[in-house]
């Protein structure tokens, strides 16, 4: 009986000790668990964030990049900065990450901000623009020509701080159950399409719907949609699109470059030390380089393997591309007329592209070389 009583006393003492330690770390009124920072001495505060993702971590080029970023942050901070990643829908729906960050439900989220287009139209401009900038050009605009400041201005209104943290090259133009040979073939086409490109193709007669990546295969298989764009060949093939839509079209007119961002709640971001902000931004910049390098390396082998899978890599007709480009500029101009911030960001991008063209057209070999 004495040993049992002693054990009970020990449990109570351990519980009280734990409670005191917890209160010392997080006194009443302190930041919630997802944003907690704890003292660790001269090296700064321990940071532990819950970070929902828009893409499954099994998706090569999309979901595996935040794994890299979290791993490097852990190593670079000697374990002091931890990102706990959550799959889409696990704690936040894939299309609601910015809302959760804004409302303080999570400290940060890794997403494609083009999903915010319905709430924040200009978000599409810092995510992917049809017939827009390619990766090198986009990073030049973002880091050296005012793009980052404009992105921060845009998301300050959403109480978030956007850090570009991933970048890929062009996507495919989509996977189709039948061939696309003219503008007429778009009329009545049921297609999953995201971003500004969805508005463009809808204006040309397609019926556009939005679906998360994990729901596209089933929609194609059941005939709920006739076609879908989503991502890179390696990503789309991993989701099985090749098994239900044998015509894979190029070029990726709607997303010549696709940026991913780590969105951080603005209060939480502003509470960080300058050195921690710099470290997170530096690791995200490394994420951009690694993401682009890996995705560029992976696509050729996937396309080379198409014939064995019964997939046909097709090129959109030139007259169709010209029509898509014309309508794209119309849609962009109309959005700019409605939204001053959209107009400001679009004007910045167009001005930079006009200047950059002097270099691009002269310095780089023609595509045929």
Q: What is the pLDDT of residues 61-93, one digit of tens each?
A: 999 999 999 999 999 999 999 999 999 999 999
Q: Strands 174-176 and 247-250: what pairing?
A: antiparallel
**Which residues form the domain of 121?**
22-168+257-297
Q: Do both 144 and 188 map to the same domain? A: no
Question: How many domains does the chain fold into?
Answer: 2
Q: Do both 32 and 144 map to the same domain? A: yes
Q: Do both 53 and 112 map to the same domain? A: yes
CATH code for the domain of 192: 3.40.190.10
Q: What pairs with residue 52 in β-bridges?
A: 86
Strands (E), 107-194: 108-111, 160-168, 174-176, 190-192
Q: Do both 248 and 263 map to the same domain? A: no
Mean pLDDT of 203-209: 95
Angle between helices 147-156 and 135-144 (to 10 degrees): 70
Check whether 170 has a pLDDT greater than 90: yes
4 occurs within a structural domain: no
Can you give the pLDDT at residue 45?
A: 86
Can you give the pLDDT at residue 212?
A: 87
Q: Strands 227-228 and 174-176: what pairing?
A: antiparallel
Mean pLDDT of 259-266: 98
Check whether 100 has a pLDDT greater than 60: yes
Check whether 9 has a pLDDT greater than 80: no
355 occurs within a structural domain: no
Check whether 188 has a pLDDT greater than 60: yes
What pTM value is reported for the model?
Answer: 0.86
Q: Do both 250 and 261 map to the same domain? A: no
Q: Do both 149 and 277 map to the same domain? A: yes
Q: Do both 88 and 197 map to the same domain? A: no
Check whether 255 has a pLDDT greater than 90: yes
Can you give the pLDDT at residue 43?
A: 54
Mean pLDDT of 226-245: 95
Q: CA 202 → CA 74, 101, 131, 222, 252, distances in Å?
A: 44, 31, 16, 22, 17
Q: Do both 188 and 90 map to the same domain? A: no
The 10s digit of each residue's pLDDT in 19-30 is: 333 323 233 233
What CA dihedral angle connects 216, 218, 224 and 225, to 10 degrees? 40
Q: Do both 97 and 219 map to the same domain? A: no
115 occurs within a structural domain: yes
116 occurs within a structural domain: yes
Q: Do both 73 and 186 map to the same domain? A: no
The 10s digit of each residue's pLDDT in 305-350 is: 999 999 999 999 999 999 999 999 999 999 999 999 999 999 999 9
CATH code for the domain of 31: 3.40.190.170
123 occurs within a structural domain: yes
Can you give the pLDDT at residue 37?
A: 42
Q: Do both 163 and 178 map to the same domain? A: no
């Amino acid at each position: 009986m004495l040993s049992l009583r002693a054990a009970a006393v020990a449990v109570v003492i351990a519980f009280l000790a734990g409670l005191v330690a917890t209160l010392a770390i997080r006194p009443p009124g302190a930041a919630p668990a997802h944003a907690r920072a704890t003292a660790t001495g001269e090296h700064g505060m321990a940071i532990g964030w819950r970070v929902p993702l828009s893409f499954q971590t099994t998706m090569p080029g999309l979901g595996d990049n935040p794994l890299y970023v979290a791993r490097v942050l852990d190593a670079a901070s000697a374990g002091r900065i931890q990102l706990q990643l959550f799959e889409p829908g696990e704690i936040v729906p894939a299309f609601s990450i910015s809302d959760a960050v804004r409302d303080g439900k999570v400290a940060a989220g890794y997403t494609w901000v083009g999903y915010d287009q319905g709430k924040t139209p200009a978000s599409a401009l810092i995510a992917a623009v049809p017939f827009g900038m390619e990766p090198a050009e986009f990073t030049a605009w973002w880091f050296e020509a005012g793009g980052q400041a404009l992105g921060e201005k845009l998301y300050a209104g959403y109480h978030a701080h956007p850090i570009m943290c991933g970048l890929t090259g062009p996507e495919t133009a989509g996977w189709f159950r039948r061939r696309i040979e003219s503008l007429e073939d778009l009329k009545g086409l049921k297609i999953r399409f995201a971003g500004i490109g969805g508005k463009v193709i809808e204006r040309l007669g397609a019926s556009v719907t939005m679906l998360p990546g994990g729901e596209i295969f089933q929609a194609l298989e059941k005939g709920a949609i006739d076609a879908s764009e989503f991502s890179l060949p390696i990503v789309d093939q991993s989701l099985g699109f090749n098994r239900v839509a044998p015509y894979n079209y190029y070029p990726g007119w709607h997303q010549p470059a696709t940026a991913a961002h780590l969105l951080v709640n603005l209060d939480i971001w502003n509470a960080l030390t300058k050195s921690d902000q710099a470290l997170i931004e530096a690791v995200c910049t490394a994420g951009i380089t690694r993401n682009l390098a890996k995705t560029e390396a992976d696509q050729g082998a996937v396309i080379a393997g198409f014939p064995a899978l019964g997939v046909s890599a097709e090129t959109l007709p030139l007259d169709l591309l010209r029509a898509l480009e014309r309508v794209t500029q119309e849609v962009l101009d109309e959005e700019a007329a409605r939204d001053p911030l959209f107009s400001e960001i679009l004007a910045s991008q167009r001005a930079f592209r006009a200047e950059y063209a002097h270099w691009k057209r002269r310095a780089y070999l023609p595509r045929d070389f």
